[in-house]
Structure 1
Amino acid sequence: MQLVVLKLGGSILGKLPTQFYRIIGELLNKRQCLPIIVHGGGPAINQMLDSLHIPNEKVDGLRVTTNSVLEIAEMVMSGQINKQIVSEFQLAGVNSCGLSGVDGKLLQSVTADETGKLGFVGEVEKVNTEILTTFLEAGVLPVISPIGTDLFGQHYNINGDSAATAIAQALEADLVFVSDVDGVMEEVHGQKVLLSALDEQQIYERIACGNIYGGMIPKVEAAIKGLVNGVKRTSILNGLKPEDIVAFINGESRGTSILLRKETYDEPVHISE
């Protein structure tokens, strides 16, 4: 059966409609696919760090994670956000269970930076897929917080896009980045245009010229890495249009599909201002 990893960005979490949670539950209950949720939490972590006057630095888009920052990241993502998402699914009638990458050594991790300048930022070395398939076979939706652990019990803060990609790779699943925009947008003749598909070369050309920037960069880069390492399909979709997720599951083109090689693309969709 089709496995789908859905990464919920921190910017979309407070905006997702009840219909989103119901649709994901229906996909699972009707066995149209087996979904797995991975979430971020950057904005909420930033807010908590600011309120506690804890330094909040970033290097190349990655949060420098000191012991203090790690404690806050784990508290916010695994304690607050994870349980909020689980509660929303439960209210929508979806049997779900919150996990962090520490539980069952789900996300066995190593440091992402041997120089130490990033602190306790990790990358996933191994995914315990057995724990995920056990939940899915029982009809339970896994909701995962991207905090990992190494063999010695050290916890790591993991970029949510990277964690979702690692899980999708391990399961050879489809990968969907759920955002608050329709996909990768580009301005053409004064109009915003949704790019229905981008290959690796086109992505890096747009990053170089600044058309792809900010939080979209780690998404497209994670998508490319995933496709190289076993992910079947990947797309960036708008969580405010949950029907697009169903269409994607059914093989239709929605959002921006990320590809490794140039293929025949649909005509761009024009979005009004």
Structure 2
Amino acid sequence: MKPNCFVIKCGGSTLAALPDAFFDDMKRLQEEGTIPVIVHGGGPAISGTLEKLGIETEFVGGLRKTNEAVLDVVEMVLSGQINKEIVRKIQLSGAKALGLSGVDGRLIQVKPVANAHEVGLVGDVTHVNNELIEGILAMGFIPVIAPVGLGADGGQRYNINADTAAGAVASHLGVERMIVVTDVPGIMKTVDGEKVVLPTVTVQQTEDMIASGEIYGGMIPKVRAAVQCIQGDVQEVVIVNGAEPGVLSKVLKEGTIGTRIVK
């Protein structure tokens, strides 16, 4: 029997600020039989470590330009430091977690992105080994996945945008709902001079808002990845603020928080 799960994408800039209550909420859901699959980023920590090591870094169209030296740091920070920090926090709440990256068990396979000549070793997901994730879920563990993947030959590592990786994991698992945990309460729109959270938007409306500049910067890949995973059994993607008390339960049980992106 396929385990009951949903996918959480956790933004790197959000991780340090997530309160213990977030993980307690996660534990309650796990006890009730709804197990999250977490795909996390770690951009600020990667940038900080690169700076300490004197390795230059730049972004092209929202993607980090990645050579082998940058990739070494990306893997060290994502698969090591941040992945294990999340696992520890989950376990401190009393839940069970298992950390891995897309390299482990060839979990995430990728091909070079279309503009690889500009960004280097960055990958687009071609396959997710969902049997491995389902096996971990069946054992009662929360999978915590770092977005580093392998090319077709299994030898070359690639950096993957965390939003894109989370979208692909959700698509391949065929879950009904994906939650994007950020440091913003949802997709914002200025109405009468005040910023308000849009409760529901359609895929077409997000594209219109990107084209008009209402959605910009770091929100673009989040929204685009959210849109990408609305296929198969995935019905909606919700963008929320992780600091909101009981945020996961509110999304799953009440549906009254954040911005829902629907077909």
- Confirm or deny a common fold (TM above 0.5): yes
Shift of 1:242: 4.2
CA distance in 1, matches of 2:127, 2:32: 30
**Runs of 4 or more consecutive aligned structure 1 residues displaced over 3 Å after TM superposition:** none
Other-structure match for 2:65 = 64
CA distance in 1, matches of 2:62, 2:36: 28
Other-structure match for 1:157 = 159
User: What residue identity is the alignment partner of 1:4?
Assistant: F
Matches within 5 A, 1:132-211: 132-152=133-153, 153-173=155-175, 174-211=177-214
Matches within 5 A, 1:29-108: 29-31=31-33, 33-108=34-109
**Mean alpha-carbon deviation: is it higher for 110-119 or for 141-150?**
110-119
Other-structure match for 1:128 = 129
Shift of 1:2: 3.6
Shift of 1:223: 1.2
Number of equivalent positions = 259
CA distance in 1, matches of 2:232, 2:225: 11
Q: Is the 8 A contact 2:22 2:245 kept in 1?
A: yes
Corresponding residue SS for 2:230: helix
CA distance in 2, matches of 1:12, 1:55: 24
1:220 aligns with 2:233: no
Shift of 1:229: 4.9
Other-structure match for 1:28 = 30
Q: Deviations over 1:71-124 (max 9, x none)?
A: 010011001000111111111111111100000111011111365321110111
**Mean alpha-carbon deviation: is it higher for 203-212 or for 53-62?**
203-212
Equivalent pairs: percent with the same residue? 44
Q: Is the 8 A contact 1:66 1:119 kept in 2?
A: yes
CA distance in 2, matches of 1:60, 1:106: 26
Q: Is the 8 A contact 1:29 1:139 kept in 2?
A: no
Other-structure match for 1:269 = none
CA distance in 2, matches of 1:20, 1:172: 24
Q: Could you tell me which runs of 5 or more consecutive residues in structure 1 were left unpaired when the two chains were aligned.
A: 261-273
Other-structure match for 1:268 = none
User: What residue identity is the alignment partner of 2:8?
Assistant: L
Shift of 1:206: 1.7
Q: Is the 8 A contact 2:171 2:231 kept in 1?
A: no
Shift of 1:232: 2.4
Q: Is the 8 A contact 2:23 2:93 kept in 1?
A: yes
Corresponding residue SS for 2:119: coil
Corresponding residue SS for 2:12: coil
Q: Could you tell me which runs of 5 or more consecutive residues in structure 2 were left unpaired when the two chains were aligned.
A: none
Considering fraction of residues, name the structure with more helix. 2
TM-score by length of 2: 0.94
Q: Deviations over 1:183-215 (max 9, x none)?
A: 011221122211001112221222222221111
**Mean alpha-carbon deviation: is it higher for 220-229 or for 33-42?**
220-229
Corresponding residue SS for 1:213: coil
**Mean alpha-carbon deviation: is it higher for 244-253 or for 150-159?**
244-253
Other-structure match for 2:17 = 15
Corresponding residue SS for 1:48: helix
CA distance in 2, matches of 1:190, 1:243: 30
Corresponding residue SS for 1:211: coil
Other-structure match for 1:4 = 6
Other-structure match for 2:249 = 246
